[in-house]
Amino acid sequence: MTARAAVLAGIGSAVPPRVVTNHDLAGRMDTSDEWIRTRTGIAERRVVDPGTATSDLAIAAGRRALDSAGDPGVGAVVVGTATPDHPCPATGPIVAAGLDLGTVPAYDVGAVCSGFLYALVTGAGLIAAEVADSVLVIGADAFTTIVDPHDRTTAPIFADGAGAVVLRAGSPDEPGALREMLLASDGLQADLIRVAAGGSRQRSHHTEALREDLYLTMRGGEVFKNAVLRMTESSRTVLARTGWSTADVDLLVGHQANVRILHAVAEQLGVGLERAYVNIGHTGNTAAASIPLALDDAVGEGRLHAGDKVLLTAFGAGTTWGAVTLTWPDRLSRAGAPATSAA
């Protein structure tokens, strides 16, 4: 019997309507458009308005993906996020209810900027195990809600958004099938990127959290080196397992963390920069949303065609990382430009 594979059947994304430019940031902190652009490649980002939560973005992106797939019924929902609506309950069931999907299993995967890849592999596993015939996989984050708006090291980088794909059961050799998948982590580096307060570690002391502990901190230099190393290593591994060379890759879609990281990974892999997709300039770093948002933008720009060999790779807090290979499907309609979502 031929093993079941997960096949890409739909795609969609959503961003908040509010645009924050580098010039806007320069008006409230010691920075400039030139400083931000040269270090990150970011010119502007989307930011949620008060009252808008991760589930609002995820529902809008999920609806787009379902429409793209022809509005099929799905057997499960997996949401990759580091900014759930609440510590309890999970955001996945809220999203499933918001999409009128009934009582399907729905849950969150927490791997921060690697969250979409972790959710994607989880969705593929549900299909392979015959738990579900189709899965809605969403990467969504309102990441600016955990970033100090006055911190010049993090506020210029992070943004909000959501991206989603529909996976269906199919055969491993058909266009759109996910090929090789790799996930990994190193908890010994958990302090590279973290929010110190809000979890059981801090709450068990029953003391008031310090303001600075409520926001994300990041050791940028070490994150840069580890991101390039891990994304490159995992990419090489899945390429070898797939039987592809770097010359075979039509499009490299990495986590949109920083344009210098994306270029460094492409250069180390030997993938020409023209084949390394970058949309961080107008999206910022949207954490778990960045890869599906980038894929949806690439579709809208005509950068992806039937049969294209695609390499996905990400690195995030935890630390976590991974890579996935897939061929682009023959027919994948995009349900318009990314939706704008507000509560």
Q: How confident is the model at residue 336 (pLDDT cuts 50, 70, 90)?
A: low
Provide the pLDDT for residue 296.
97
Tell me the C-alpha distance between 236 and 230, whole Å: 10
- On the question of pLDDT at 2 being above 70, the answer is no
Question: Residue holding tokens 């963390």?
Answer: 257
Q: Is the pLDDT of residue 306 over 70?
A: yes
Tell me, what's the pLDDT at 253?
98
In this structure, of 21-35, 275-289, 291-305, the range with the lowest mean pLDDT score is 21-35
Task: Calculate the average pLDDT of the chain.
Answer: 94
Instruction: Answer whether residue 124 shows pLDDT above 90.
Output: yes
Is it the case that residue 343 has pLDDT exceeding 80?
no
**Token pair 């879609």: residue:** 253
User: What would the mean pLDDT of 49-59 be, rounded to a whole number?
Assistant: 97
Mean pLDDT, range 180-194, rounded to an integer: 97
State residue 210's pLDDT score: 86
Active site residues: 113, 255, 285
Residues of the chain with pLDDT > 90, as a percent, come to 87
- Average pLDDT of span 115-135: 97
Q: Give me the pLDDT at residue 223, please.
A: 96
